[in-house]
Structure 1
Amino acid sequence: MSIPRATVRLQLHAGFTLEDARRQIPYYANMGASHLYLSPISCAVPGSLHGYDVTDPGRVNPQLGGEPALRALSQALRARSMGILLDIVPNHMATHPCNAWWWDVLARGEQSRYAHFFDIDWRPADRTLHGKVLAPFLAADYAACLQAGELRLVHGGQGGYLIQAGGARFPVAEGTLDCEAADVLAEHDPASLTGRRRLHDLLERQHYRLCNWRRAADSINWRRFFEISGLIGLRVEEPEVFDAVHELPLRLYGEGMVDGLRIDHVDGLARPLAYCERLREAMHERRPGGVGVQGRPWLVVEKILAVQEVLDERWQVDGTTGYDFMDQVAAVLHDPQGGVQLVEAWRRVTGCDDAAADYLREARKLMLRRHFVAERNALVRSVYGLLRLRAQPGEWTLKAVDRVLEAYLACFPVYRSYIEGATARGPDRAIIEGAAAEARIYLDPASGMHRLLDLITARLLDVSPGANEADGQCTHRLDEAACRREAVRRFEQLTPPLAAKSLEDTVFYRYGPLLSRNEVGSDPSVLAESIGEFHARNARRAARHPCSLLATASHDHKRGEDARARLAVLSERVGDWRRACAEWGAWRNMPGDTPSRSAERYMLWQALVGAWPLDLRLDDAEALAGFAGRIVQWQRKALREAKINSSWFEPNLEYERDCARYVHELLGWSPAQARLLAEALESGRLAEAPGAHDPAGGLLRSFHDFVQGIAPAGAVNSLAQAVLHLTSPGVPDLYQGTDWWDFSLVDPDNRRPVDYEGRRQALAATEADADMAALLQTWRDGRIKQAVIRRVLALRTHDPGVFAQGAYLPLATTGRRHDRVIAYMRRLEGREVVVAVPRLCAHAVKGGADALPRIDMTYWDDTGIMVSAPGGRDMKDIFTGKVHYASRDADLPVGSLFADLPCAVLVAA
């Protein structure tokens, strides 16, 4: 196996199969990619669009073409010296009838051979659930469903029977039904009172308990992926489970069909360190032979790193999936001074002075009280049982422990800690003690809560000699250490979903001074970072994880990489943004008039500006209706994720319709037409929407003109971002479709079909040495971005070593605009590559429909880059072909570097 030069992430599903991926190999080979990075390929719920709802981890999904299609793909890639990076899902599986393991647990309960495969609490606090699995899959309360006849006994084929609940089916446990009765179905017919009683008695004898899906939050007795009852947690810390879950990917790796693995949601696992060690060892044991195979497997993990957090080197992985770089490269393109002004503007709009940290703390408490109640209660019982092993009877109550843990969890600063031994290591100790120090602020010292907080902190951090007998709350544990391990496990498996759902799926839709910073892997309170910080993070990655993935977009992103780059311009042009918002705010309010609705409107404006297509014409009603549909789809999700005026739990459909009408009126439709459009979108009848449209209506012209004014500067940011992405230490990952401009919104918008035919034609029409200045003239079609990517990846193909093993050397800049240039060198054995891009230059880029993403040479004045080349030498720009002289005595003039294109990559001439 060889470490990838560049990967391309592809989303596989029935509409884009492994065979479809194989057809794209020539295109991506010509672009310069070395590996296809595939979404999960195991059997998943029929019709799955992502593959993370696995039903059989041991088989390649036949809807994707099955293993024959995978082999054909691998062979075609090998023929071009390319390979596969495989995304695997060890944390969870789907609770679907196609999942044979899950079905067997429902049918046999604790006696199932798979009972220990899943993270199920067979002895929860609710004694009526002992030995049972809660099945929260009913659309209404159990009694109502039974009364309405929505629960039925039906034939299941081969002489067996099943329980039908709406559109779902469940097994009938062996020995719980008298199949010799003359008419089993009639006896259990819910149409009669007697039939309902018999059916109820039958259901009571099953190994599961059906209930309303709304009861899952406070009653569920198994670990879910986040709060999704369709996904159940696996216990891969158990050797048998690990082997069963990894049989397919390890076999494919051993056969040389895949070159590396990407681990989904590593923070969900009970023991990530032990897991990574075991997986790497298993891959070593199956290491394929052959020419070009290196000594160790390639392994990356999906891990969200908080500010100043670093990847645990004990894991011995090659790095992350690149969300940390996505944050890094975006932050350096934002103006910190403008960020402060945007926060002030946000506070004026919403009337709320709360900081991002306040929003996050409140969101965490909301999630604990409403969505993770069962997980919270289980943690409280576990910690309470641990404390009682040393405390006097009655010293602490469950309620007191619950209050302290809520404050603790609300202040936890990272996704999780990693306590896998008897004593927490330094970094984990610092995290837990820091969370305790902040939690102390919100607890009443007079009530003894501070003392309890200190006690809980000490027990989480260390195991000390003490009581060694089982407790009522730890009946299945034999000693104090076991109780402590259970408490730590529950704590560490609650903090990751709590962090994700609180920040990414709540705060990101409530707090929005600048939505380009509300991104997976980012902290919205950190609006920008300096060039020095950018270099420090790159240097740290080069030293510790030089083969980590680098992302600028993903299937999980909140908005596309070029939408973020465009919105970053607002941090430089705050005055223009404020004036535009004043005009838009005076036009018409969204339904109602509250701070939360003002916030929704403000974030909607940003979504429109960021996603506005470059080729959108004001007289194209069909294109405008399509764009409005995308925005309304985003808006509905944003409203529900915010959980203020609507939610997934309690959708406020009327309010959502009013907001959709506001969008359509804003984009030029009359109120009557807007109502019809909103109704058509809601019912999926977009083709029936009215076509009449006023190009001068609403705020359409105003939004169009504003976007045209900042779009060229946004494109400068985009090209700078692309070059930094492709040349920084690590392995650049290109998300499907981002080789052209990417103004997508959150899923499902970011998973729309890619126009591969258009891309192939554009690539074929653009020679490898095409005139980049000419492509810049037609920059709106995206070919300039495609050409930049192709040119840099060609360099990486020609000299992979300088990027994979080369030193990372920040270059000093001089002159009036020295802080407006990011420059560095990659060097290996005398071979050098100089990289330079602009930043924070929006005021030097002209706006308008005919403007180009170009910075006038005079703007740079005396700005230069210190290359310090002994003796001097010529260096050629791979984009323009221009030769520049570099020496120790003369700086490289930035104005000359960026005269034709706002980025430069220089190699020896």
Structure 2
Amino acid sequence: MSKPTSTYRVQLTPGFGFAQVAEIAPYLRELGVSHVYLSPILQAAPGSLHGYDVIDHSSIRAEFGGAAGLRELAEQLAAHDLAIVMDIVPNHMNTENAQFRSVLKDGTASPYASWFDIEWVGGKVALPVLGDGAGPKVDGDVLRYYEHEYPHPGHYRLVPFTDGPGYRRFFDVSSLIGLRVEDPAVLFATHEVIFWLLDEGLVEGLRVDHPDGLADPRGYLESLRQRSGGVWTVVEKILIGEERLPDDWACDGTTGYEVLNRITRLFVDPAGADPLIGQFVRRTGQSADYRAVVARSKREVIELFFTGEVERLARAAGADPAEVAELLAAMPVYRAYVTPGEPPPPASVELIEEIATPKTRELAQTILYGPAEAVTRFQQTTGPVMAKGVEDTALYRWYPLAALNEVGGEPDVFGIEVKEFHEFCAGMRPHTMTTLSTHDTKRSEDVRARLSVLSEMPQEWARAVEGWSAALSFDPHLDYLAWQNLLGAWPITPERFADYLLKAAREAKTRTSWVKPDAAYEKGLREFAVQATQLPVGEFAAEIEPYAMANSLGAKLVQLMMPGVPDVYQGNEMTDFSLVDPDNRRPVDFGRRPANVWDATKLLLTSQALRLRRRLPPAAPYLPLFATGEAEEHAIAFARGCIGAQELGGRERGTSQRAPKRARPSNAAVAVATRLPVRLARRGGWAATTLMLPPGSWHDLLTGSRYTGRIPLAHLMCRNPVALLERT
């Protein structure tokens, strides 16, 4: 099996299944991708629009076309030199499945009792479903409670829906029950179809959902690699800051959030940090200290959602639940990578000991060196607390520049130096996935491209917000986020904008929430959304359009040409101004044609870069290039392919000697993108800034122009804010 040169993510739905994917195969091949990356294909809950709620691991989803439809799709894709990468969900499944129903009926006597991570209390499992109103009713051998049905009699107990369930779940979603794939029998039963697809050659790659939820992700990935024959595998692992994927995880890399966040920062001006944070604080009354907001948010979600998990972990560790909650809230990453029975990695020891207080020091030692259950459960609980406390709370409370508020992002870290970005690329795994947009991103790449411009125009932005706020205001905790997203997604319908604001407000949990919705507040919010979309926001959007386009194309070029396997999320080969799910999972019009210059240039850039990646070696070397001149900070440039330092004739920064001539290698590319375009324009453009190309003749795949030697950037970038060169 060959590793992908690029992937194209398709969201399957009951209305867009295997047959519809087959219809766009010619388009995808023409676009230049090598693999079609499908959302989960196993049988999910009826009508599911995402597929992460599997109910039957033994069958391929009938609504998509079943096994026969998948086989036909694979054949049609192969006819266009395309193959399939599939998204798999080992951590959990929907509770409405036959195996769990057997467990509810027969308890520990069920043959499926070992499938699920259940805490049996008095031989029963707690199901959090009870609310106000009428109680459950027995109807023959069924116990009915509103839309719920349970076997009767059974070995379970119903508890209030606000309580934690008697089983490990996915984050705070009680309808998704945790699986014990650390048990070889459970692993085989839940992966039998996946292994069959790999054996048949119908699938050539795997994307593993949420490995942090597993008891032993390292062991799981090793089992997967051995059984799959080493198929290309990436994991949805969120890495924070300088955190790196463990070397002993048997996979090719991550799904790319750490890449996404660095690329975003590459186009953010650090000079905008103070004025934007200051404006945010003045308008919202929120703290200027993001880390304090995170700590408070994590403590709140622990109390709101995770008391059951905290108590279970406390029992396993022999600790006070308050101490457990404090240590969980202090964890700055999703996992500490400690395996029971093994010496913990030095970095993990340093991390845990650093966050421990005198009150939690003994507990810290327990989760490093203590009983297996305590060590494992801490690892499985930190991820949900991070996800709900940071992704789904703090990022909706602290947003001076919402472009930075992404999964795994650090919104108080404005900008990244070019040299630092090059150093990051040099350390990347060659076949890791890179991305700019996913089904889980808070905003699409083009929304972020627009918002990044604000870091260069904080005063102009402040005046625009002042004018809109004078005309319309609703909630100081939400308005400033609303203005940013209204601009980023412009033009947007009142319905889409209202749906986004409703989700944002409920996630923030300051005035309304998913658990306790405030009907009056939410009615006012929808009215605000309608009126906001009638304001002249389009005027400001038009003013920043050239700079937003430069950011968009620059980010796209960097992502497509840097090390790794680039993924294109459906529809993002052209402009896409989507907000958080479900907005970013709307149906895509694959018959759409470019509507403007931004669309046309992005499509051209994407297709040329993806085709070029198919001509380059999959792990082509990466070589930083540096512009020279007064505007050099505004360029990010690098070469890919058979180019050594000696080929640059000693022109790399910091060298002076000239290397001997050598034969020109083939299969080489150079990517050049514009950074911080507002400041560049205000300083009068590139002036005399130049870039020394590696030896050879270079063809610009976007314009058809040819270059050699030292090139003025004013000439290279005169038609586009990016250049994609191939050596001829």
Common topology (TM > 0.5):
yes
1:868 CA drift (Å): 5.0
SS at match of 2:105: helix
1:453 aligned residue: 360
CA apart distance, 1:652: 0.6
- Which residues in structure 2 correspond to 1:825-840 (within 5 Å)? 825-828=639-642, 830-831=665-666, 832-840=668-676
Aligned to 1:729: 563
* Contact kept in structure 2, 1:18 and 1:73, CA below 8 Å: yes
Residue 522 of structure 2 is aligned with which of 653, 656, 659? 656
Quick one: distance in 1 between partners of 2:81 and 2:240?
36
CA deviation map 1:698-724 (0-9, x unaligned): xx22x1211111122101111111111
Matched residue of 1:754: which SS? Answer: coil
* Aligned-residue identity in percent: 38
Instruction: State which of 409, 413, 424 in structure 1 corresponds to 2:344.
Output: 424
The answer to whether the Cα contact below 8 Å between 2:272 and 2:458 also exists between their aligned partners in 1 is yes
Amino acid at match of 1:461: L
Structure 2 match to 1:137: 129
Equivalent-residue separation in structure 1 for 2:360 and 2:175 (angstroms): 35
The answer as to whether partners of 2:13 and 2:50 remain within 8 angstroms in 1 is yes
Q: Return the offset for 1:663.
A: 2.2
Please give the per-residue CA displacement for 1:207-251, whole angstroms capped at 9, x wherever unaligned.
Answer: 11123322x33xx21111000011000011111111111111111
Q: Secondary structure at the match of 1:809?
A: strand
Which residue identity is paired with 2:212?
D
Amino acid at match of 1:257: L
C-alpha contact 1:712 1:845 (8 A) present in aligned 2: no
CA–CA distance in structure 2, aligned partners of residues 222 and 495 of structure 1: 16
2:114 is paired with a residue whose SS is coil
Corresponding residue number in structure 1 for 2:495? 629
Deviations 1:159-183 (A, max 9, x none): xx3222212211124xxxxxxxxxx
Conserved 8 A contact 2:700-2:706: yes
**Separation in structure 2 between the aligned mates of residue 415 and residue 236 of structure 1, nearest angstrom:** 20
Give per-residue Cα distances to partners, 1:274-321, cap 9 Å, x unaligned: 11111101112xxxxxxxxxxx31111000000000011101210111
Structure 2 counterpart of 1:145, one-letter code: A
Quick one: which of 167, 171, 190 aligns to 1:245?
190
CA distance, structure 2, for counterparts of residue 78 and residue 666 of structure 1 = 48
Deviation, 1:495, is 0.2
* Counterpart AA for 2:549: A
C-alpha distance in 1, partners of 2:258/2:509? 27
2:237 partner letter:
K
1:267 aligned to which of 212, 218, 232: 212
TM-fit CA distance, 1:844: 4.9
Q: Deviations over 1:134-182 (max 9, x none)?
A: 12234x24xx423xxxx33335xxxxx3222212211124xxxxxxxxx
Aligned to 1:166: 146
1:119-268 map, 5 Å: 119-123=117-121, 130-138=122-130, 140-141=131-132, 144-146=133-135, 151-154=136-139, 161-173=141-153, 206-214=154-162, 216-217=163-164, 220-268=165-213
* Alignment-mate amino acid for residue 687 of structure 2: D
Is residue 229 of structure 2 the alignment partner of residue 406 of structure 1? no
Task: Output the TM-score relative to the length of structure 1.
Answer: 0.76
Inter-partner Cα distance in structure 2 for 1:826 and 1:731:
13
Contact in 1 for aligned 2:366/2:375 (Cα 8 Å): no
Query: 1:747 and 1:325 mapped to 2: Cα distance?
Result: 20
Per-residue CA deviation, residues 237-279 of structure 1 (Å, 9 max, x unaligned), is: 1111111111111110011000011110000000111111111
After TM superposition, give the deviation of residue 582 of structure 1 in Å: 1.8
Within 1, Cα distance between the matches of 2:674 and 2:179? 47
Distance (Å, rounded) in 2 between the aligned partners of 1:299 and 1:825: 26
Gap runs ≥5 in structure 2: 644-664
Alpha-carbon distance in structure 1 between the residues aligned to 2:693 and 2:681: 26
Q: Once the 2 structures are TM-superposed, how far is the Cα of residue 418 of structure 1 from its aligned partner?
A: 1.4
Aligned to 2:655: none
SS of equivalent residue, structure 1 residue 145: coil
Q: Secondary structure at the match of 1:645?
A: coil
On the 8 A contact 1:8/1:734 being kept in 2, the answer is yes
Residue 796 (1) aligns with residue 606 (2): no
Q: TM-score, normalised by structure 2?
A: 0.94
Shift of 1:745: 0.6
What is the rounded CA distance, in whole Å, between the counterparts of 2:681 and 2:191 in structure 1?
52
- 2:466 match: 582
Secondary structure of residue in 2 paired with 1:631: helix
**SS, match of residue 697 in structure 2:** strand
Matches within 5 A, 1:748-763: 748-759=582-593
Which of residues 682, 686, 700 is equivalent to 1:877? Answer: 700
| Displacement of 1:665 | 2.2
Tell me how far apart the structure 2 counterparts of residues 46 and 162 of structure 1 sit (CA, whole Å): 21
- The answer to whether the Cα contact below 8 Å between 1:272 and 1:418 also exists between their aligned partners in 2 is no
Q: Which runs of 5+ in 1 are unaligned?
A: 124-129, 156-160, 174-205, 285-295, 385-397, 441-449, 464-483, 591-596, 614-625, 669-699, 763-774, 847-855
SS at match of 1:895: helix
Quick one: which amino acid aligns to residue 882 of structure 1?
S
CA deviation vs aligned residue, 1:426-446 (integer Å, no higher than 9, x gap): 12112212222xxx3xxxxxx
Partner of 1:712: 546
The letter of the residue matching 2:139 is V
Deviation at residue 526 of structure 1 after TM alignment: 1.3
Is the 8 Å Cα contact of residues 278 and 288 (structure 2) preserved in structure 1?
A: no
User: CA separation in 1, counterparts of 2:285 and 2:31?
Assistant: 49
Query: 1:812 deviation in Å?
Result: 1.7
Q: Which of 607, 612, 615 is 2:485 aligned to?
A: 607
Contact 2:103–2:112 (CA<8 Å) still a contact in 1?
A: yes
Where do 1:379-398 residues align within 5 Å?
379-384=313-318
CA distance in 2 between counterparts of 1:418 and 1:271 reads 9
Distance 1:583 1:82 in 2: 51
SS at match of 2:400: coil
Q: Using a 3 Å threshold, how does the CA distance of structure 1 residues 462 and 874 change in structure 2: closer, same or farther? A: same
Q: In structure 1, how many angstroms separate the alpha carbons of the residues matched to 2:605 and 2:92?
A: 39
Distance 1:153 1:381 in 2: 35
Aligned-partner SS, 1:523: coil
1:753 Cα deviation (Å)? Answer: 0.8
Q: Is the 8 A contact 2:31 2:606 kept in 1?
A: yes
Residues 455-504 of structure 1 deviation map (CA, whole Å, 9 limit, x = unaligned)? 222232235xxxxxxxxxxxxxxxxxxxx111111111110000011111
Within the alignment, does 1:280 sit opposite 2:97 as a pair?
no
Give the 5 Å matches for 1:332-343: 332-343=266-277
CA distance in 2, matches of 1:562, 1:735: 12
* Shift of residue 728, structure 1, vs aligned partner: 0.5
Query: Match for residue 351 of structure 1?
Result: 285
Give the conservation status (yes or no) of the 8 Å contact 2:74–2:83: yes
| C-alpha distance 458-212 of structure 1, shift in aligned 2 (>3 A) | closer
Provide the residue aligned with 1:5 in structure 2.
5
Separation of aligned partners in 2, 1:435 and 1:75: 53
Q: 1:339 to 1:61 in 2, by over 3 A?
A: same
Amino acid at match of 1:434: E
Deviation at 1:349, TM superposition (A): 1.6
| Contact 1:84–1:257, Cα closer than 8 Å, also in 2 | yes
Q: Which residue of 1 aligns with 2:506?
A: 640
Question: CA 1:540 to 1:369, structure 2 compared with 1: closer, same or farther past 3 Å?
Answer: same
Q: Do 1:862 and 1:893's aligned partners in 2 also have CA atoms closer than 8 Å?
A: yes
Shift of 1:332: 0.5
2:685 to 859, 870, 875: 859
CA distance in 2 between partners of 1:414 and 1:844 (Å): 36
Q: CA RMSD in A?
A: 1.6
Q: Do the aligned partners of 1:811 and 1:823 also contact (CA within 8 Å) in 2?
A: yes
Report the alpha carbon displacement of residue 845 of structure 1 after superposing the two structures with TM.
Answer: 5.5
**What residue in structure 2 maps to residue 473 of structure 1?**
none
Which residue type is aligned with residue 463 of structure 2? R
Q: Please state if 1:779 is matched with 2:597.
A: yes
Q: Deviations 1:764-794 (Å, cap 9, x if unpaired)?
A: xxxxxxxxxxx9xx315x1221111111112
